[in-house]
Every structure is written in structure tokens, then in C-alpha cells.
Amino acid sequence: MELIGQGMEGAVYDLGDGTVRKVWFDRRPEDVRPLQAFLDELPELPFRTPRIREITAGEDGLAVSVEDKLTGVPLHEAGLPEEVALDAFVSVVEALRGVRPGPASRLLPVVGQPFWGRSWGAEFGGVGAASCRSRECASRAGRA
């Protein structure tokens, strides 16, 4: 297994078969299952989303998950011009616009707040517009 990434929540290892193993630093299996349910209720979208296939406990009792491997780089590391990166962000928000949060979504906080039944586009559009630095960005995210 090759370590391919490590972040705040865990270390990720390539299993070589299109999946990865994530060793969580401080979550138990019961802490990760709501995330799995949330990801499972996402509809098909024009881009890939994470899928947790299996959750077990390691020797220390912490969660170990097997997930589909998603290729690519984080948008902020892609080296794209700001305009192109913003277009990619807006495309994601537009794809999520009509998706309604399901029961599992209501159990997860988004930016510290629970979903209250609005659409994904409305929720993430608000987050995106709040993070935009210019009126043009807010306008393109549908919030001007």
C-alpha cells in the first residue's frame, strides 16, 4: 500500500484496485457511518463524488474505510487561472442546485450549520457567495 495523502482527518493509502484505504485519526466507525449514508444518498452528478464502500475498526478501535479512488488535484492546487477555477466552482454549485437534501444530509452539519431543507444549490451557493471577494463572483454564483 502506498501512502498517497494525509490530511486533518486521516491518512489515505492506494490499494491499487481503484480503491483507497483511509485510516481515520480520531473517528470511530460509528462516527463515519453517517458520512457514508450521506454520500450514498447523493444522486448521480456530472462529476464523481466520494463513495465509502466499507467501514471497519482498526486495532485501536478507530475507523478504517475503503473508498473509491478519486483522481485529480484540489482546485486550489490545479494552477488554473482564477476565472477558470471560479467557473469550475460555479459549475459544481449549478449541478447541485436542484438536489434536495435527504434524511442523511440533515444529520451532518455544513460549515457548522445543519441543513434546513433548502436545495444543495441554495446551501452551497450561499457558502460560495460568502467566500467570494468580488461582486462579479457573487453575481455568477447567483447571489447578487
Return the ∠ at Cα 136 (arms to 131 and 140), rounded to 5°: 80
Q: Which three cell numbers stand for residue 107?
A: 444529520
Please, which residues have CB within 8 angstroms of residue 62's CB and are 6 or more apart in sequence? 23, 24, 25, 26, 27, 28
pLDDT at 134: 47
Nearest one of 102, 93, 144 to 121, comparing CA atoms: 93
pLDDT at 125: 60
Residues of the chain with pLDDT below 50 are 133-135, 138, 141, 143-144
Return the ∠ at Cα 85 (arms to 76 and 119), rounded to 5°: 100
pLDDT at 136: 53
Whether 68 contacts 18, CB under 8 Å:
yes
pLDDT at 99: 84
pLDDT at 1: 84
Q: Please tell me the distance from the alpha carbon of residue 120 to that of residue 99, in angstroms, as a whole number.
A: 5
pLDDT at 11: 97
